[in-house]
A and B are shown apart, each in its own frame.
Chain A
Amino acid sequence: MSRVDTVLLPELDGPVPATLPSALGLLSLALGVGALAAPGPVARMTGVDDAPAARPVLTAIGLRELGSAAGLLSGRRPAGWAWSRVAGDAMDLTLLGRALADRSGERRHRVALTTLAIAGITAVDVLAAVRVARARRARARVIRMEIAVTVNRSPAEAYRFWRDMENLPRFMAHLESVRADDLRRSHWIARGPAGKRVEWDAEIIDDQPNKSITWRSLPGTGVANAGRVRFVPAPGDRGTEVRVELRYAPPAGALGRAVAKLFGEEPEQQVRDDLRRFKQVLETGEVVRSDGSPNGISVRQQAMQRPAQPLPASRR
């Protein structure tokens, strides 16, 4: 995982503490060890010590729990293992339901209490499994980009231009404006589809003058995003390699779809165009325009060129 991922992902993990799968794993471990090491007391406690099948069933359940524990504690595929616990819970509840049907008195009371406890654990397991799965899907939605351009300017010049966040809309086509609230914080407004705006606040979390800038959106924003730009001297005295890493975590639902549209089908191409414009602005002073592409470089415009004739007065 790159540095930008670790900057962005804590926020994605927000609703699900990373410790949740491990906690479930420890619970499985305790239950499994109990069922295997002391089947007699466990059978008595749960009220099924009268059944000849109780011991082998408890042994099977214990082994199952140890399997779940191993999976959850391994940290791999936490969603799958969390659901395996839910499946185990369902099996236990079925067995307990049958045990409840042909028992009476004290034993029936104990079986009922056990059923209640397992139902409670089931609820926790379902909740956990849903959350772990949701976090995994959110992480899968993250758009990751790493794109670079060589600019015939010194790292200091390139850094200075980028560090003034209010300059960003001059070359990032989807941005309407960026307002610097102070040296660290800024408010970003992006143009969405159908004139809809998407806004967020961001902060610079690491600033290495003439070398790199790292920023991220503030927690609680609809569109979690983070980025880092590095200004590396190009070999052979050819200016600066401007290397950008970006992460966007579009939320599910309508806002997510709006963000996805913002970037179109080729988000990388759009960022590449942004960097080309950055190069144009730094090297030539502004974005280069032609009759076919009057708004300058853009994938969308490249696909839908107007004829190479001067614009009519109405479109100037």
Chain B
Amino acid sequence: MKATAWMGADSVKVIDVPDPKIMNARDAIVRISTTAICGSDLHLYHGYIPAMRKGDILGHEFMGEVVEVGPQVRNLAPGDRVVVPFPIACGHCSSCQRGLYSVCENSNPNAGIAEKIMGHSPAGIFGYSHLLGGYAGGQAEYARVPFADVGPIKVPDEISDDQAVMLADVFPTGYMGAEMCDIKPGQVIAVWGAGPVGLLAAASARLLGAERVIVIDRYPYRLRLAEEHIDAETINYDEVDVLDTLNEMTAGRGPDACIDAVGLESHHGNAAMYAYDRAKQAARVETERPFALRQAILACRSGGVVSVVGAYGGFVDKFPMGAFMNRSLIMRTGQCHVQRYTRPLLERIQRGEIDPSFIVSHRMPLRDAPKGYKIFQKKQDDCTKVLLKV
């Protein structure tokens, strides 16, 4: 089959690899119809995630048709149209049973490596390094889906591929980011990053009853999406000082909750600060550039929530612990426990409360994946989200 493979930093290729086969009794094989490039795939693309190997198949947002199931899979049958959550979760460990699917205790066969860096191992993730399991990803013609009796859900015909594939990662991730803010009536929610997750976090904050939603980015076309589709207020950090502006907008209180939907490769309006962190990151003295996170902490109302759904992989520098501690802030975070959200969010789409596919800017065939990575990386052609059609 054809598959998108990581060939080294800034290099992906569509190559020929063997077709996947059932390896465990609870596996399914899915023929992929639509798959997406995630912002977090760009972290891999740039080589910031450790434990990648040349030839690793990328992609953790995908959907398609079940073509084969293992003997223990009874909820699915060949022919079913399904969308697959990006964290691989067994459904039977204590974490899964408490709904913490992205920290499944069994799905990472390379837990030993992850423990050395993170203390304990999170779940395995499709196409996301050997640290997180060494699973082939879904930017391909077929994928093997472990624990198919727990993860994938069937998609009704009236839901389009473009809508359903949002349930693999970005919509649940954005939704969880908003849910962790514990939004109360009258509250102001600020979101750093107007990428797919940030936009869907902002939209979810609206769904969950936020009074005002403020989105921060530097790309006018992305901020426009926030204004047009979410009725959000926007701040372009290339033009104004974010902290001053937020204080003014909230009459000195600061947002009640701040969502970091940026993660480890954040950009900064201050050239000197950016250069400082970029240099440390390049020298591997620090693995992340946490500008958005630092700013979110400083901006947040005292006693408020900082909700982190942007991806981090290692260690951050100059974490404003003083502000965090002295102002009674709360941080909530996690890779999304997608399996918890797929059904309720599918129902919200069915009820017409939201159409998450408003973020999609590009659709192209799988063979054009390298081009998709390039334009997404360079933010060319007003790119927000690239779908690959198989």
Beta-carbon contact of B94 and A239 below 8 Å: yes
Residues of A within 8 A of B26 (CB): 284-285
Residues of A within 8 A of B330 (CB): none
Given A152-B94, A290-B134, A292-B133, the answer on whether A285 and B25 have CB atoms closer than 8 Å is yes
Query: Which one of A152, A273, A299, A308 contacts B134 once the chains associate, using CB atoms below 8 Å?
Result: A308
B90 contacts A by Cβ under 8 Å: yes
Beta-carbon contact of B109 and A288 below 8 Å: yes
Beta-carbon contact of B113 and A302 below 8 Å: yes
Beta-carbon contact of B20 and A302 below 8 Å: no
Query: Which one of B20, B53, B107 contacts A307 once the chains associate, using CB atoms below 8 Å?
Result: B53
Beta-carbon contact of B53 and A305 below 8 Å: yes
A311 contacts B by Cβ under 8 Å: yes
Closest A residue to B23 using CB positions: A289
Residues of B within 8 A of A (CB-CB), count: 42
Residues of B within 8 A of A290 (CB): 109-110, 124, 133-135, 146
Query: How distant is A158 from chain B, measured CB to nearest CB, in Å?
Result: 14
Given A289-B24, A307-B56, A311-B18, the answer on whether A297 and B111 have CB atoms closer than 8 Å is yes
Give chain A interface residues in 277-316, CB to chain B under 8 Å. Answer: 279-280, 283-286, 288-294, 296-297, 299, 301-302, 305-313, 316
Q: How far is the CA of A292 from the CA of B114 in the complex (A)?
A: 14
Beta-carbon contact of B109 and A308 below 8 Å: no
Residues of B within 8 A of A311 (CB): 18, 21
A160 contacts B by Cβ under 8 Å: no
Residues of B within 8 A of A283 (CB): 90, 92-93, 105-106
Closest A residue to B55 using CB positions: A307
B122 contacts A by Cβ under 8 Å: no
Beta-carbon contact of B112 and A292 below 8 Å: no
B268 contacts A by Cβ under 8 Å: no
Residues of A within 8 A of B372 (CB): none
Q: What number of A-B contacts does a CB cutoff of 8 Å give?
A: 123
Residues of A within 8 A of B137 (CB): 308
The listed residue with most B CB atoms (<10 A of its CB), out of A294, A301, A307, is A307
Q: How far is the CA of A305 from the CA of B130 in the complex (A)?
A: 7
B350 contacts A by Cβ under 8 Å: no
Closest A residue to B124 using CB positions: A290
Beta-carbon contact of B56 and A279 below 8 Å: no
Type the 1/0 row for B1-34, where 1 means its CB is closer than 8 Å to any CB of A.
0010100000000000111110111100000000
Residues of B within 8 A of A292 (CB): 53, 56, 109-110, 130, 133-135
Q: How far is the CA of A289 from the CA of B90 in the complex (A)?
A: 12
Beta-carbon contact of B18 and A297 below 8 Å: no
Closest B residue to A292 using CB positions: B134
Residues of A within 8 A of B3 (CB): 309
A46 contacts B by Cβ under 8 Å: no
Q: How far is the CA of A308 from the CA of B143 in the complex (A)?
A: 11
A269 contacts B by Cβ under 8 Å: yes
The listed residue with most B CB atoms (<10 A of its CB), out of A290, A296, A305, A307, is A290
Residues of A within 8 A of B111 (CB): 276, 297
Beta-carbon contact of B90 and A286 below 8 Å: no
Query: How distant is A312 from chain B, measured CB to nearest CB, in Å?
Result: 5
Residues of B within 8 A of A137 (CB): none
Beta-carbon contact of A286 and B24 below 8 Å: yes
Beta-carbon contact of A310 and B107 below 8 Å: no
Residues of B within 8 A of A152 (CB): 92-94, 97
| Contact surface of B with A, Cβ cutoff 8 Å | 3, 5, 17-21, 23-26, 51, 53-57, 72, 90, 92-94, 97, 105-107, 109-113, 124, 127, 130, 133-137, 144, 146-147
